[in-house]
Structure 1
Amino acid sequence: MPQPDFKPIEASKRLPLIDILRGWALLGVVVMNYGEFYFIGLSPHHQSSKATDLLITIANAMFSSKSWTLLSFLFGYGFAVIMQNTRLKNVNSNSFFIKRMIWLLVLAFIDSAFFFGDILKDYAFLGLILLLFSRCSAKTSLYIGAALFLVTPVINGIVVSLAGNLDIGILAPYLPLYKSHSLLNALWFGLIGTWKGQVTDLNLGVTIHTVMFCCFLIGQAAQKSEFFNKIEINKSFIKKTWLVCLILILTDSTLVLTVKKVADMQDYLNLGYWWVMVAMTFTATSICLLYMSGKLKMIFSGLQAMGKMTLTNYMVQNFVSIILFSGFGFGFGLTHRLPAPYYYLLGLMVFILQIFISKWWLRKFYYGPVEWVWRQLSYGRRLPGRIK
């Protein structure tokens, strides 16, 4: 039974930069998730314009896989915060977190029905495994995470040799369900897509989970070392990391574009996940440096509001997607009916609207609505919601 004084971390003790990073990750998530609806059901013989190809390349370079890896890093950070809080309050941290992940899995099931690319189920599953590493020091967490990072291309190569590459056309036979005017059919498509496109796919089940868990451990290491609490002290390290990542990105891009053998090597030793992690680190350190410079305060204020309601905003994005892209509801049915730029623009528009709603909501309430429900289920008692 939780102690009477055991409660979520107070808003005043939250680090703004962590919420800002969460907000940025949510931008990438909604832009790329909505962009996927351009490709669903797309003919393999479809020829897109050079302008469209350039836009897709830019979107992929900015956001593809960088957002969920950043969110994974922040999940590991948040996990370590929760474990620290429970132990300070003499609460059984393992049982509390297991309960928390079980309820997250329930939310994931609901979210999966609205969007076949739900990530909450992965966090709930891997979060339970992370419990086994909760007592690791910052150094041990970092070393294990780094080891997983190094072996990811090998793991990916083994998985591809066993199961082949990810089949993006696997959902095509079920697309009529999504395009129908029945909400139940659209929700069923989401669950089928989650099962066939993610749960039973070795590429996602093994390779992606390895990368996620790597990020979890590095995020845990960041919290245990109080990296973000000492952000000004670590400024020099952040600058060096930013520069190294930039050099690696430029080097990799140059080699892939100019040396054919390097591109061909990706077929049997895919170093893409290394590049993703480096690019994600470059993005995160860029945001850290801009935040410390005191610039872009208005933008960071919006990202912070989004980040404080990460779970709510993520699920709302997926709820809105079923209205926009399925045949249900207003009958928009926009799946592959518009040029590619419009899908990315829709994601950006939804994100901007969410910023205003999040700011309005947080003036009245301590938490986002889904966060409030999840916290009450986790803590086993009613928590104050409205700000007095």
Structure 2
Amino acid sequence: MSETTTIKPIKINPTTSSERYHALDLIRGIAVAGILIMNIYAFANIYAYYVNPMALGTPSDIDLYTWVMTHIFADQKFYTLFSMLFGAGIMLMAQRAQANGLPSAGLHYRRMLWLLAIGIIHAIFIWYGDILVTYAITGLWVYLFARSTGASTKLIVGGIFIAIMIGLMSLLALFVGDMPAEDLSDMMDMFAPSDEFITQETAVYTSDYASQLDHRTEFFLANLPMMALFFGLFRIGGSMLLGMGLYQLGILTAERSRSFYIKLMLFGFIIGFGITAYDTYALLESNFSLNTSMLSFMSLNSMGAVFVALGYIALFCLWVKSNRFIAFRKRLEAVGRMAFTNYISQSIICTLIFYSHGFGLFGQLDRYQLMIIVAIIFMAQLLWSPWWLARFQFGPLEWLWRSLSYGRKQPFRKV
């Protein structure tokens, strides 16, 4: 297959529903649900609760089992998948412009700058766990690969970037004991926080909105360099480049044969789940020691997630090619077409559930109970996304982003 995709000559405009690839929408819709499976831990409790089920003491059997399931099947897998899709979206826009002989750089950079602005608002005023800022900053340089490099170049460079981060983080985990005392204390609070730290972080989100705002601003400013310039460069950027290459090869768009996807699924799942299973065993055996937790979070699970994401891509593309459960698939595709809106709406809903300006359930629910909330929120999105798209061209935030990026009001209501 050629490394470029033929696109019909049309005036460059936002992608319409008739031009979308069903596989991309389906995978994006499932990724939105998968991201919430992990994000809800950070919405509902202190940061360490996200990475360590022992952070608040010995968990119940059902809570530990819930952690094991989410760690193996969701942790880092779906944001990796979503990053690949983001890269594919950049590639799709660039190809559409190139096919029409039109410059796409200005449009792309406007899109990224507006995404950056929305991400900053989200990070400071809604939830500190925002990923949009990192995506926007990473998208500024990743675009350079979209214009003139082949799929193999993107896959190789993306793989190298991810390998660099995993290698550096592995070294950090192995020599964490040699860190300065203050840095080591901060690292401990991320994985095994002291009672004082737990009390302080809990107090922020059980007090008033002003305290939350101060915490989010401080967190954003302290972590932006690490997230955007290191994690974004290597881990997110590498995944975006992989997504670009997979898109060019027709893999993300379900254009390859069934046998190809079966082989890719087996390859991804055997390696990815094998690494993750070992990682899970090591964590449990070490009782989540600092070294093992760091090696897991920053290296082993991160590496396994890339292969599992490839397996998920193959599995979901097989679903597209099978024509089974079409009605349900269409609902998932609708969620994917409104991924931006659904991602932000998850933040709004969850902060209202857990923070003090809402129902104030921060730190009150067990992991298995949080999975019930995930299911309820995602079922609501499965209902409201197709309902909305039956009446409007785009989701509300998708429409806003497009209108700002193109500098003109986009069609909204369906005629």
The normalised TM-score by structure 1 is: 0.88
2:218 matches 1:192: yes
Structure 2: where are the runs of 5+ without partners?
A: 1-9
Change (3 A) 1:272 1:116: same
1:139 alignment partner, one of 141, 152, 158: 152
Provide the rounded CA distance (Å) in 2 between the counterparts of 1:13 and 1:189: 43
Change (3 A) 1:37 1:68: same
How much has 1:268 moved relative to structure 2? 6.5
2:244 matches 1:220: yes
Provide the rounded CA distance (Å) in 2 between the counterparts of 1:100 and 1:295: 36
Residue in structure 1 matched with residue 389 of structure 2 by the alignment: 362
Which secondary structure state, in structure 2, belongs to the residue aligned with residue 271 of structure 1? helix
Matches within 5 A, 1:1-388: 5-40=11-46, 44=55, 46-112=57-123, 113-134=125-146, 135-160=148-173, 161=175, 165=187, 167-168=189-190, 169=193, 173-180=200-207, 182-196=208-222, 198-201=223-226, 206-207=230-231, 209-229=233-253, 231-249=254-272, 251-252=274-275, 255=278, 270-329=299-358, 332-388=359-415
Identical residues among aligned pairs (%): 25
How much has 1:335 moved relative to structure 2? 0.9
Q: Contact (CA 8 Å) 1:141, 1:218: kept in 2 or not?
A: yes
**Residue type of the alignment partner of 1:75:** F
Provide the rounded CA distance (Å) in 1 between the counterparts of 2:414 and 2:344: 23
Please give the per-residue CA displacement for 1:109-153, whole angstroms capped at 9, x wherever unaligned: 111121111010010000001122222111211111122233332
Worse-superposed segment, 42-51 or 270-279 = 42-51
**Residue type of the alignment partner of 2:309:** M
Q: Contact (CA 8 Å) 1:38, 1:339: kept in 2 or not?
A: no
Q: Contact (CA 8 Å) 2:46, 2:363: kept in 1 or not?
A: yes
Worse-superposed segment, 114-123 or 27-36 = 27-36
Provide the rounded CA distance (Å) in 1 between the counterparts of 2:23 and 2:64: 34
**Residue type of the alignment partner of 1:68:** Y
Structure 1: where are the runs of 5+ without partners?
A: none
Provide the rounded CA distance (Å) in 2 between the counterparts of 1:378 and 1:226: 27
Worse-superposed segment, 313-322 or 42-51 = 42-51
The normalised TM-score by structure 2 is: 0.82
How much has 1:45 moved relative to structure 2? 5.2
How much has 1:289 moved relative to structure 2? 1.6
Provide the rounded CA distance (Å) in 2 between the counterparts of 1:18 and 1:167: 38
**Residue type of the alignment partner of 1:137:** G
Worse-superposed segment, 276-285 or 352-361 = 276-285
How much has 1:166 moved relative to structure 2? 7.5
Change (3 A) 1:167 1:216: farther
Please give the per-residue CA displacement for 1:35-70, whole angstroms capped at 9, x wherever unaligned: 234441879452211121011110121211111110
Provide the rounded CA distance (Å) in 2 between the counterparts of 1:306 and 1:250: 27
**Residue type of the alignment partner of 1:236:** S
**Residue type of the alignment partner of 2:329:** F
**Residue type of the alignment partner of 1:195:** L
Please give the per-residue CA displacement for 1:63-113, whole angstroms capped at 9, x wherever unaligned: 111111101000000000111222334433222211111100111011112
Q: Contact (CA 8 Å) 1:159, 1:207: kept in 2 or not?
A: no
How much has 1:173 moved relative to structure 2? 3.2
What is the alpha-carbon root mean square deviation over aligned residues?
Answer: 2.9
Please give the per-residue CA displacement for 1:326-357, whole angstroms capped at 9, x wherever unaligned: 1104xx11111122212121122111101211
How much has 1:159 moved relative to structure 2? 4.9
How much has 1:167 moved relative to structure 2? 4.2
Please give the per-residue CA displacement for 1:138-187, whole angstroms capped at 9, x wherever unaligned: 1211111122233332121345556665742578635433222x444434
Q: Contact (CA 8 Å) 1:23, 1:305: kept in 2 or not?
A: yes
Which secondary structure state, in structure 1, belongs to the residue aligned with residue 14 of structure 2? coil
Change (3 A) 1:64 1:146: same
Provide the rounded CA distance (Å) in 2 between the counterparts of 1:132 and 1:257: 37
Please give the per-residue CA displacement for 1:297-321, whole angstroms capped at 9, x wherever unaligned: 2331221010000101101111112
Provide the rounded CA distance (Å) in 2 between the counterparts of 1:74 and 1:328: 34
Q: Contact (CA 8 Å) 1:37, 1:336: kept in 2 or not?
A: no
Provide the rounded CA distance (Å) in 2 between the counterparts of 1:217 and 1:171: 38
Provide the rounded CA distance (Å) in 1 between the counterparts of 2:199 and 2:94: 42
Q: Contact (CA 8 Å) 2:276, 2:301: kept in 1 or not?
A: no
How much has 1:255 moved relative to structure 2? 4.9
Q: Contact (CA 8 Å) 1:37, 1:343: kept in 2 or not?
A: no
Q: Contact (CA 8 Å) 1:30, 1:348: kept in 2 or not?
A: no
Change (3 A) 1:256 1:30: closer
**Residue type of the alignment partner of 2:365:** L
Worse-superposed segment, 363-372 or 131-140 = 131-140
Provide the rounded CA distance (Å) in 2 between the counterparts of 1:189 and 1:321: 17
How much has 1:251 moved relative to structure 2? 3.9
Change (3 A) 1:249 1:131: closer
Change (3 A) 1:326 1:256: closer
